[in-house]
Amino acid sequence: MMVSLFGHRRGFVYASEGMENQHQSEQQVVQQMLATLDLEGVLVTADALHCQKKTVACLHQQKAYYLLTVKGESTDVAQRPETGE
């Protein structure tokens, strides 16, 4: 499985990581990749899989804008999406 951070405007892959050994979850890999980029002022979008407190905290710390899909079972993040707390 390959995880990629893709820029839609420029059509550029900013980071990608293979997940052959499955020792980390996709969420953990994405969080690590997000931490390596300068995301201040950038809009990051992701599906509901990434609607997690750690991911939101990483994006908030990086001063990124973000748009995440929220499912009904993600009520803890939906309550305070600006910080994920």
Give 29-54 pLDDT, tens digit per residue: 999 999 999 999 999 999 998 988 89
Q: Is residue 40 part of a domain?
A: yes
What is the C-alpha R_g of the chain? Answer: 13
Q: Is residue 85 part of a domain?
A: no
Q: Please tell me the predicted confidence (pLDDT) of residue 16.
A: 87
Q: Is residue 84 part of a domain?
A: no
How many structural domains does the chain have?
A: 1
pLDDT band at 64 (very low <50, low <70, confident <90, very high): very high
Q: What is the pTM of this model?
A: 0.75
Please give the residue range of the domain that contains residue 62.
Answer: 2-79
Q: Is residue 49 part of a domain?
A: yes
The residues near 70 (Cβ < 8 Å, ≥ 6 apart) are 48, 51, 77, 78, 81
